[in-house]
Structure 1
Amino acid sequence: MHEHAARNASSDSTTPTLGHILFGLYLWEWFISLGFEWDFIIGKKRLRWPMFFYFVNRYLLLGHFISSMILWNSKGQEHPINCNVVYAFMRFFGKGALAFASINLALRTIAVWERNKYVTTGLALIMLGEFSIIFLDVRDVLKSSRWSVQGHVCVNGSKNDWLRIVFLISMSFDLLVLGLNVYKIGIKTAAFTRYCRERRRERSILRLTYLVLSQGIVYFFVAFCVNAAAFIVVTLPGLRNTNASRTYALPAYVLSTIVACRAVRALTKSGSHFENLPVLSNDPAFDISIGVGSNPGPTRASFLPSIGGKLSTEDLENKQIEVTEPSARETRSDYLKELKVVPRIPLESDDKHHSPKRAQDFV
């Protein structure tokens, strides 16, 4: 036990170097994205419940680095600190940030699957299992951490078994949601393309699907690779039960949080986050949830606005209007082109060089 703690204390000397670099990287990412949070504070964006996981994810990782700084700077001090509390906060904040990053990606998966009860229940159960492992890890840390009077440093005698399990769950979870998104978005993309080709829709109707496909899949893939690399590192024989393995787990915390939060910001700004993709709810050629042989009613497309935001000019131009049957006049822009334009009656103040005309001349 004491030999294991001494090895942890000696290997902990490599922690601050990489830790400070990653802390600086995350602080830079945190500062450049504060404008997104400011929009919620001033009311420019409407705050909804899914954003709770976004903010918790960001500030859990920030709390992890703050508690880590306290631990790193306490080395060599004469006055002891409460090592149990510091280590417990470090473990909970770090692994909690990793779990909430997975939750942010899972919410996007649930939205893409249109809140399918089987997908939602399965992902929720996996996340509950991961949080259970995190609390078990915190419990072990509270029992095994102490202040070393000889080395004037906090030592931790716990093993990294829970750390490996957490990374294994996160890696498997990210791979699962990656597969679910690739499968569902692939079907939707094919449906969108086929419908646009048949109905001659404007190319802008593919904007939301293209955004999720081009940005979302990349985020899921990066998160999976980061957790897979961290799992491989913490399972190496030479790093299995040392603080060095926890040090090399820091990049997984940081990169997973950055990837998940950037995914949230990208799709929230585009107006498609935590909402269903625009589908024609009554058109079997467009909505894959309708079975063959159904009797569709009026055709209507729903372009959902962003969270708390207003529809932009582009959204208004591309917003579909409800019609009783498909026709060439399906988009707002086509509808406006067919309207009869009535010229404005010029006033005398418009042009002093021309004589005023009567209203009857313009009817």
Structure 2
Amino acid sequence: MVNWQSPSVVAADSLAFVKLLHVLAGLFMWEFFATLQYEWDFVKKRRPYRWTIWIYSATRITALMNVILGLVGFNVTKPIACEVWLIFEFIFAYTAFSLASLLIVLRLIAIWNRNVPISLLAVGVWLVNLAFLLRSVIVARSEWDNDSGGCQISDTDDSRINVTVTLITDTVLLTIMIVGLRRQRDHELGRMLFNQGVLWLCLATISEVPPVVFLWLNLNDPLNIVSKIYFTLPAV
């Protein structure tokens, strides 16, 4: 049986984490720039203006900043203000998550034709998720470790509540959306929204399951870190 807390296993997982970070960063940057034409079409007025483009772009940009900060933080060779770095890492990551969820809320409200009870429920669920993400930023702790030559993040399992709440709230929002679409499956708007996003939203929500599992297992710090920050990038 593997002892996940043994120094050799932790060291191997740390190395694997750093390698995975660079792979995911490369994939995300490729996707970011490959789809930049979408925003450029709005700038050139080739697409009709929608104010939600600002939320969409902010989601992508904050996720990109999270990836860049991760590359910086895990490649430095001299001491840095680790706690400040971690706080901003969390701010960018969780801002991206919350904005992505906000896009679901706005689409849900449109599907339900601005139904007041449903709209209030959706916004309330989103605010609950936002509150838990904010809590994670407040309790973030990290300090420089001379032995490893990098930032040592403490209480890495603390975010398991946050990612669990995110999974639950996104599942609730997705369920409400699907119910609304089934009510309008014969309408043009319902067909359009179903074809343009429900499948991808389902996949994004499913991608939040592995971080929840890994964080509740609490195998070791490297696996916790990669779970709570980088395994959730597909959701963005």
- Confirm whether residue 244 of structure 1 aligns to residue 223 of structure 2: yes
1:44 equivalent in structure 2: 46
Any conservation in 1 of the 2:145–2:152 contact (CA below 8 Å)? Answer: yes
In structure 1, give the amino acid aligned to 2:92: F
CA distance in 2, matches of 1:175, 1:127: 11
2:214 equivalent in structure 1: 233
**Structure 2 gaps, min length 5:** none
2:87 equivalent in structure 1: 88
Correspondence list, 1:106-125, <5 A: 106-125=105-124
2:103 equivalent in structure 1: 104
**Deviation of 1:30 (Å):** 0.8
Equivalent residue pairs, number: 230
TM-superposition CA deviations, 1:167-215 (whole Å, max 9, x none): 212211222122212222112124x4xxxxxxxxxxxxx4x43332234
In structure 2, give the amino acid aligned to 1:157: S
**Deviation of 1:59 (Å):** 0.7
CA distance in 1, matches of 2:132, 2:177: 26
**In the superposition, relative to structure 1, how do residues 134 and 35 fare at CA in structure 2: closer, same or farther (>3 Å)?**
same
CA distance in 2, matches of 1:183, 1:69: 41
2:163 equivalent in structure 1: 167
**Deviation of 1:89 (Å):** 1.3
CA distance in 2, matches of 1:215, 1:46: 17
TM-superposition CA deviations, 1:203-247 (whole Å, max 9, x none): xxx4x43332234321221122111232112111424xx131221
**In the superposition, relative to structure 1, how do residues 139 and 237 fare at CA in structure 2: closer, same or farther (>3 Å)?**
closer
**In the superposition, relative to structure 1, how do residues 148 and 252 fare at CA in structure 2: closer, same or farther (>3 Å)?**
closer
1:35 equivalent in structure 2: 37
CA distance in 1, matches of 2:49, 2:79: 43
**Structure 1 gaps, min length 5:** 193-205, 258-363
Structure number with bigger Rg: 1
Partner of residue 68 from structure 2, selected from 59, 66, 69:
66
CA distance in 1, matches of 2:45, 2:193: 26
What SS class does the counterpart of residue 73 from structure 1 fall into? Answer: coil
What SS class does the counterpart of residue 167 from structure 1 fall into? Answer: helix
**In the superposition, relative to structure 1, how do residues 249 and 137 fare at CA in structure 2: closer, same or farther (>3 Å)?**
closer
CA distance in 2, matches of 1:159, 1:247: 10
CA distance in 2, matches of 1:232, 1:255: 16
2:176 equivalent in structure 1: 180
Identity %: 22
1:158 equivalent in structure 2: 155
Higher RCO (C-alpha 8 Å, min separation 6): 2
**Deviation of 1:93 (Å):** 1.3
**Deviation of 1:73 (Å):** 0.8
**In the superposition, relative to structure 1, how do residues 148 and 65 fare at CA in structure 2: closer, same or farther (>3 Å)?**
same
Which runs of structure 1 show a deviation greater than 6 angstroms over 4 or more consecutive aligned residues? Answer: none
CA distance in 1, matches of 2:231, 2:111: 25
Any conservation in 2 of the 1:174–1:223 contact (CA below 8 Å)? Answer: no
TM-superposition CA deviations, 1:57-107 (whole Å, max 9, x none): 101110111110111111xx2x31111111111112112212221111221
Report which of the two has the higher share of helix.
Answer: 2
Any conservation in 1 of the 2:218–2:224 contact (CA below 8 Å)? Answer: no
CA distance in 1, matches of 2:235, 2:224: 17
2:27 equivalent in structure 1: 25
